[in-house]
Amino acid sequence: MKIPGPYSGGIILSYQCNLSCIHCLYNCHGKWNSWINIEKLEKIIKTLKNIKNFTSLHLTGGEPFINFPLLLESVRLCKKYEIPFFVETNCYWAKNIQITEEKLKKLKENGLNSIMLSYSIFYVDKVPIENFEIAMRKSIEIFGSENVSFYTISGYKLIKDLNIKGNLSFEKCLNLIGEKNFINFLKTYIVPKGKVLYTLDKWFFKFPAEKFKRANCVYEFLNPYHIHIDLYGNYMPSFCAGITIGNYEEVLEKGINDEDKVLKFLLNDIYELLLWAESYGYKRKDGYVNKCHLCLDIRKFLIENNFRFDSLKPEEFYKNL
């Protein structure tokens, strides 16, 4: 099946992160150790640049600032190909004004014009709120307020209003925020896919598997608004994590790899995937948050039981899920 060219998307430079947030879509943490090869990155950027309607690229991870030389190189490449882009970060590195200014100015000199800063209750145990505030102030000064975005400002304000200084564990922070405020925050913040379906599942309503009969992923696979290509070349649509519809070059040229058994099921009916997995020993749960929860739980079972499919990548994603 052919897909429309994407309008916007991110390149995952690495899954390595100094944090391992409980809401992390891609199950990033410090044990991932590969980073994108610069030639591969250039090829991906060139490909995206040649897509007619592609208007916005983000360089992301993992945490791109961990490998600052590679980040600088990546920024230079984006500048060279004149592709509109920004960088995402969790601000861990913004330890003081001097460091922050140095890094941001270097990025600007090399061609960066726009940045997205992330902060919320999920970061506060490892990234002090002061780091985010320094990064915010300096980014606005260096790039201009119209070129700085936040994920999310309400997530930050929730912590700020508690007058927290430095770090605080997630549990203590949650106690201070209160369940009602936390649920309201989750509604506007969380993408209910990936790791969060296990770590925060008690906060979601669940439905029996029958609810997802005849559900499929055609809309998500064809959705051109938010795709990711990772360092291995995996093309991942619509925030899907640990699953790829193919290598990005093949996907953009020929379409979805619909020879893959898992993708075939997902293009047709996810309930059929469940019945098939059950025939190999998968035990269905009493309830699932959504079809992505059902999908992820089956994929996890498949990987843990040594089934191998081209679509279930990168495999490390499934470790410690």
Residue 64 CB contacts under 8 Å (≥ 6 apart), including other chains:
13, 14, 70, 71, 74, 87, 88, 89
Binding of ligand SF4 by 91 (CB under 6 A): no
Binding of ligand SF4 by 58 (CB under 6 A): no
Binding of ligand SF4 by 152 (CB under 6 A): no
Alpha-helix runs per DSSP H in 9-127: 38-49, 68-80, 97-109
Query: Stretches 18-26, 64-72, 108-116, 179-187: which one binds ligand SF4 (CB under 6 A)?
Result: 18-26
CA distances from 200 to 25, 154, 303 (A): 12, 20, 22
The tokens for 219 are: 């809309």
Binding of ligand SF4 by 244 (CB under 6 A): no
The tokens for 44 are: 């991906």
Binding of ligand SF4 by 134 (CB under 6 A): no
CA distances from 11 to 51, 139, 220 (A): 15, 21, 18
Binding mask 176-215 for ligand SF4 (x = CB under 6 A): -----------------x----------------------
Binding of ligand SF4 by 90 (CB under 6 A): yes
Q: Which is nearer to ligand SF4, 180 or 214 (CB)?
A: 214
Among 3, 11, 12, 28, indicate the residue that binds ligand SF4 (CB under 6 A): 28
Query: Stretches 64-72, 76-84, 275-283, 289-297: which one binds ligand SF4 (CB under 6 A)?
Result: 289-297
Instruction: Check the CA dihedral 261-35-90-169 and report its sign.
Output: positive
Question: Of 228, 257, 253, whose CA–CA distance to 317 is shortest?
Answer: 228
Binding of ligand SF4 by 256 (CB under 6 A): no
Query: Stretches 61-69, 99-107, 177-185, 248-256: which one binds ligand SF4 (CB under 6 A)?
Result: 61-69
- The H helix count followed by the E strand count for the chain is 13, 7
We find the least distance from the C-beta atom of residue 23 to ligand SF4, in angstroms, to be 6
Binding of ligand SF4 by 159 (CB under 6 A): no
* ω into 152 cis (within 30 of 0): yes
Q: Which is nearer to ligand SF4, 12 or 44 (CB)?
A: 12
Among 6, 9, 10, 62, indicate the residue that binds ligand SF4 (CB under 6 A): 62
Binding of ligand SF4 by 11 (CB under 6 A): no
Residue 146 CB contacts under 8 Å (≥ 6 apart), including other chains:
none
Q: Which is nearer to ligand SF4, 104 or 256 (CB)?
A: 256
DSSP 10: E
